Chains A and B, each alone.
Chain A
Protein backbone atom coordinates (compact mmCIF):
# COMPACT_ATOMS: atom_id res chain seq x y z
CA UNK A 1 0.00 0.00 0.00
CA UNK A 2 1.05 3.60 -0.56
CA UNK A 3 2.95 5.03 2.42
CA UNK A 4 4.70 8.32 3.08
CA UNK A 5 6.78 8.20 6.26
CA UNK A 6 8.27 11.43 7.51
CA UNK A 7 11.24 12.10 9.75
CA UNK A 8 10.78 12.92 13.42
CA UNK A 9 10.07 16.11 15.31
CA UNK A 10 12.69 18.87 15.30
CA UNK A 11 13.49 21.81 17.55
CA UNK A 12 15.47 24.72 16.16
CA UNK A 13 16.54 28.18 17.26
CA UNK A 14 15.53 31.26 15.28
CA UNK A 15 17.78 31.79 12.27
CA UNK A 16 18.61 28.11 11.91
CA UNK A 17 17.56 25.69 9.17
CA UNK A 18 15.60 22.45 9.24
CA UNK A 19 15.31 19.58 6.77
CA UNK A 20 12.36 17.20 6.82
CA UNK A 21 12.36 13.97 4.82
CA UNK A 22 9.50 11.94 3.37
CA UNK A 23 10.13 8.30 2.46
CA UNK A 24 7.70 6.97 -0.15
CA UNK A 25 6.83 3.32 -0.72
CA UNK A 26 4.16 1.16 -2.33
CA UNK A 27 4.10 2.88 -5.72
CA UNK A 28 6.36 3.97 -8.55
CA UNK A 29 8.01 7.07 -7.07
CA UNK A 30 8.68 8.90 -10.35
CA UNK A 31 5.06 8.74 -11.51
CA UNK A 32 3.71 11.18 -8.92
CA UNK A 33 4.77 14.58 -7.69
CA UNK A 34 5.22 15.43 -4.02
CA UNK A 35 3.68 18.48 -2.36
CA UNK A 36 4.61 20.04 0.97
CA UNK A 37 1.98 21.64 3.19
CA UNK A 38 2.35 23.09 6.66
CA UNK A 39 -0.18 23.71 9.41
CA UNK A 40 0.49 26.12 12.25
CA UNK A 41 -1.16 25.37 15.61
CA UNK A 42 -4.92 25.88 15.34
CA UNK A 43 -4.69 27.03 11.73
CA UNK A 44 -5.62 25.57 8.36
CA UNK A 45 -3.23 23.98 5.89
CA UNK A 46 -0.83 26.20 3.93
CA UNK A 47 0.71 25.10 0.62
CA UNK A 48 4.48 25.50 0.46
CA UNK A 49 5.45 23.97 -2.85
CA UNK A 50 5.63 21.01 -5.22
CA UNK A 51 8.37 18.95 -6.80
CA UNK A 52 8.28 16.70 -9.82
CA UNK A 53 9.97 13.46 -8.80
CA UNK A 54 10.45 12.76 -12.50
CA UNK A 55 12.28 15.92 -13.62
CA UNK A 56 13.12 17.73 -10.39
CA UNK A 57 11.07 20.76 -11.46
CA UNK A 58 9.86 22.76 -8.50
CA UNK A 59 7.18 25.34 -7.78
CA UNK A 60 7.15 27.35 -4.60
CA UNK A 61 4.59 29.51 -2.88
CA UNK A 62 5.63 33.13 -3.21
CA UNK A 63 5.65 33.45 0.58
CA UNK A 64 8.48 30.91 0.87
CA UNK A 65 10.52 31.80 -2.23
CA UNK A 66 14.20 32.00 -1.32
CA UNK A 67 13.74 30.23 2.03
CA UNK A 68 12.53 26.79 1.02
CA UNK A 69 14.19 24.13 -1.11
CA UNK A 70 12.48 20.94 -2.23
CA UNK A 71 14.48 17.97 -3.42
CA UNK A 72 13.82 14.37 -4.31
CA UNK A 73 16.03 11.30 -4.66
CA UNK A 74 14.69 8.53 -6.88
CA UNK A 75 17.24 5.97 -5.66
CA UNK A 76 15.98 6.21 -2.08
CA UNK A 77 12.41 7.26 -3.07
CA UNK A 78 12.71 10.10 -0.62
CA UNK A 79 11.59 13.70 -0.91
CA UNK A 80 12.92 16.44 1.35
CA UNK A 81 12.00 19.96 2.36
CA UNK A 82 14.57 22.38 3.76
CA UNK A 83 13.45 25.66 5.32
CA UNK A 84 16.06 28.29 6.20
CA UNK A 85 16.18 31.42 8.36
CA UNK A 86 13.59 29.98 10.71
CA UNK A 87 11.34 32.29 12.73
CA UNK A 88 9.02 31.55 15.62
CA UNK A 89 6.02 31.70 13.28
CA UNK A 90 7.47 28.78 11.31
CA UNK A 91 6.46 26.56 14.22
CA UNK A 92 4.06 24.12 12.58
CA UNK A 93 3.40 20.55 11.53
CA UNK A 94 4.90 19.96 8.10
CA UNK A 95 3.26 17.38 5.80
CA UNK A 96 4.34 15.79 2.56
CA UNK A 97 1.61 14.53 0.26
CA UNK A 98 1.47 12.70 -3.05
CA UNK A 99 -0.11 14.40 -6.03
CA UNK A 100 -2.55 11.90 -7.52
CA UNK A 101 -2.44 13.56 -10.90
CA UNK A 102 0.59 14.98 -12.73
CA UNK A 103 -1.59 17.43 -14.67
CA UNK A 104 -2.26 19.57 -11.60
CA UNK A 105 -0.89 20.64 -8.23
CA UNK A 106 -3.87 19.37 -6.24
CA UNK A 107 -5.52 16.01 -5.69
CA UNK A 108 -3.32 15.14 -2.69
CA UNK A 109 -4.33 11.53 -2.33
CA UNK A 110 -1.85 10.24 0.27
CA UNK A 111 -0.28 12.16 3.14
CA UNK A 112 2.61 11.64 5.49
CA UNK A 113 2.00 11.56 9.22
CA UNK A 114 3.38 15.07 9.69
CA UNK A 115 6.54 16.41 11.33
CA UNK A 116 6.36 18.97 14.13
CA UNK A 117 8.98 21.69 13.79
CA UNK A 118 9.30 23.94 16.81
CA UNK A 119 11.25 27.19 16.52
CA UNK A 120 12.15 28.60 19.91
CA UNK A 121 15.05 30.39 21.52
Chain B
Protein backbone atom coordinates (compact mmCIF):
# COMPACT_ATOMS: atom_id res chain seq x y z
CA UNK B 1 0.00 0.00 0.00
CA UNK B 2 1.37 3.40 -1.02
CA UNK B 3 0.45 6.54 0.90
CA UNK B 4 0.73 9.89 -0.88
CA UNK B 5 0.75 13.04 1.21
CA UNK B 6 0.16 16.58 0.07
CA UNK B 7 1.45 19.18 0.20
CA UNK B 8 5.12 18.33 0.67
CA UNK B 9 5.68 21.66 2.42
CA UNK B 10 3.17 23.81 4.25
CA UNK B 11 4.01 27.35 5.42
CA UNK B 12 1.61 28.31 8.18
CA UNK B 13 0.68 31.40 10.17
CA UNK B 14 0.15 31.03 13.94
CA UNK B 15 -3.54 31.17 14.76
CA UNK B 16 -4.58 30.11 11.27
CA UNK B 17 -5.91 26.66 10.30
CA UNK B 18 -3.89 24.08 8.38
CA UNK B 19 -4.77 20.89 6.55
CA UNK B 20 -2.76 17.90 5.28
CA UNK B 21 -4.02 15.22 2.90
CA UNK B 22 -3.10 11.54 2.79
CA UNK B 23 -4.29 9.33 -0.05
CA UNK B 24 -3.94 5.54 0.01
CA UNK B 25 -3.55 3.25 -3.00
CA UNK B 26 -5.95 0.79 -1.35
CA UNK B 27 -8.81 1.07 1.10
CA UNK B 28 -7.72 1.16 4.74
CA UNK B 29 -11.19 0.20 5.99
CA UNK B 30 -11.29 -3.27 7.53
CA UNK B 31 -14.22 -5.48 8.48
CA UNK B 32 -13.87 -4.19 12.05
CA UNK B 33 -15.31 -0.92 10.79
CA UNK B 34 -12.11 0.94 11.54
CA UNK B 35 -9.77 2.69 9.12
CA UNK B 36 -6.20 1.66 10.00
CA UNK B 37 -4.65 5.05 9.44
CA UNK B 38 -2.47 6.92 11.93
CA UNK B 39 -0.98 10.41 11.96
CA UNK B 40 2.40 11.19 13.55
CA UNK B 41 4.32 14.40 14.14
CA UNK B 42 8.10 14.38 14.24
CA UNK B 43 9.41 17.59 15.75
CA UNK B 44 12.99 18.59 14.88
CA UNK B 45 15.49 16.30 16.57
CA UNK B 46 12.82 14.18 18.24
CA UNK B 47 11.18 10.79 17.84
CA UNK B 48 7.81 10.67 16.08
CA UNK B 49 4.78 11.08 18.31
CA UNK B 50 1.32 9.64 17.73
CA UNK B 51 -1.39 12.23 17.10
CA UNK B 52 -4.31 10.30 15.62
CA UNK B 53 -5.19 6.59 15.31
CA UNK B 54 -8.05 4.84 13.53
CA UNK B 55 -8.17 7.93 11.28
CA UNK B 56 -10.04 10.14 13.74
CA UNK B 57 -9.19 9.22 17.34
CA UNK B 58 -6.88 11.62 19.16
CA UNK B 59 -4.10 9.94 21.10
CA UNK B 60 -3.76 10.58 24.81
CA UNK B 61 -2.53 14.10 25.60
CA UNK B 62 -2.97 15.44 22.07
CA UNK B 63 -4.54 18.93 22.00
CA UNK B 64 -8.04 19.13 20.59
CA UNK B 65 -6.89 21.55 17.87
CA UNK B 66 -5.76 18.41 16.03
CA UNK B 67 -8.44 16.38 14.25
CA UNK B 68 -8.45 13.56 11.74
CA UNK B 69 -11.11 12.61 9.22
CA UNK B 70 -11.69 10.45 6.18
CA UNK B 71 -12.42 6.86 5.26
CA UNK B 72 -11.37 4.31 2.69
CA UNK B 73 -8.58 5.91 0.68
CA UNK B 74 -8.77 9.65 1.48
CA UNK B 75 -7.79 11.13 4.82
CA UNK B 76 -7.16 14.58 6.25
CA UNK B 77 -5.38 15.95 9.29
CA UNK B 78 -6.53 19.39 10.37
CA UNK B 79 -5.06 21.84 12.84
CA UNK B 80 -7.75 24.35 13.80
CA UNK B 81 -5.31 27.06 14.97
CA UNK B 82 -1.63 26.46 14.40
CA UNK B 83 0.76 27.13 17.25
CA UNK B 84 4.53 27.62 16.98
CA UNK B 85 5.13 24.26 18.70
CA UNK B 86 3.33 22.44 15.86
CA UNK B 87 6.25 22.78 13.45
CA UNK B 88 7.83 19.58 12.20
CA UNK B 89 7.15 16.80 9.72
CA UNK B 90 3.77 15.12 9.73
CA UNK B 91 3.46 11.52 8.53
CA UNK B 92 0.44 9.37 7.87
CA UNK B 93 0.91 5.61 8.29
CA UNK B 94 -1.24 2.62 7.44
CA UNK B 95 -1.53 -0.68 9.26
CA UNK B 96 -4.32 -2.23 7.26
CA UNK B 97 -2.26 -5.16 6.08
CA UNK B 98 0.44 -7.36 7.59
CA UNK B 99 2.99 -4.58 7.39
CA UNK B 100 3.10 -0.84 7.98
CA UNK B 101 3.94 1.89 5.51
CA UNK B 102 4.45 5.61 6.04
CA UNK B 103 3.65 8.48 3.76
CA UNK B 104 6.40 10.72 2.44
CA UNK B 105 5.78 13.43 5.01
CA UNK B 106 4.59 17.04 5.05
CA UNK B 107 6.94 19.65 6.49
CA UNK B 108 5.08 22.34 8.42
CA UNK B 109 6.95 25.59 8.97
CA UNK B 110 5.98 28.95 10.40
CA UNK B 111 6.01 31.56 7.65
Residues of A within 8 A of B (CB): 35, 37, 44-47, 59, 61-62, 95, 97, 100-101, 103-109, 111-114
Residue of B48, B93, B99 touching A59 (CB-CB under 8 A): B99
Residues of B within 8 A of A (CB): 32, 36, 38, 40, 42, 47-50, 53-54, 59-60, 89, 91, 93-95, 98-105
- A114 and B47 contact, CB distance less than 8 A: yes
Residue of B60, B95, B102 touching A46 (CB-CB under 8 A): B102
State A95–B91 Cα separation when bound (angstroms). Answer: 15
Q: What distance in Å separates the Cβ of A37 from its nearest Cβ neighbour in chain B?
A: 8
Residue of A97, A106, A109 touching B60 (CB-CB under 8 A): A109
- A44 and B104 contact, CB distance less than 8 A: yes
A-B pairs, 6 with minimum CB distance:
A106-B95, A111-B47, A47-B100, A107-B53, A105-B95, A45-B102
- B91 and A44 contact, CB distance less than 8 A: yes
Residue of A45, A62, A103 touching B48 (CB-CB under 8 A): A45
Determine the chain B residues whose CB is within 8 A of the CB of A103 once the complex forms.
Answer: 32
State A45–B91 Cα separation when bound (angstroms). Answer: 9
Given A44-B91, A100-B53, residue A105 in contact with residue B100 (CB < 8 A): yes
Determine the chain A residues whose CB is within 8 A of the CB of B50 once the complex forms.
Answer: 100, 107-109
Given A45-B102, A47-B100, A47-B101, residue A107 in contact with residue B47 (CB < 8 A): no
Determine the chain B residues whose CB is within 8 A of the CB of A106 once the complex forms.
Answer: 36, 38, 53, 93-95, 100
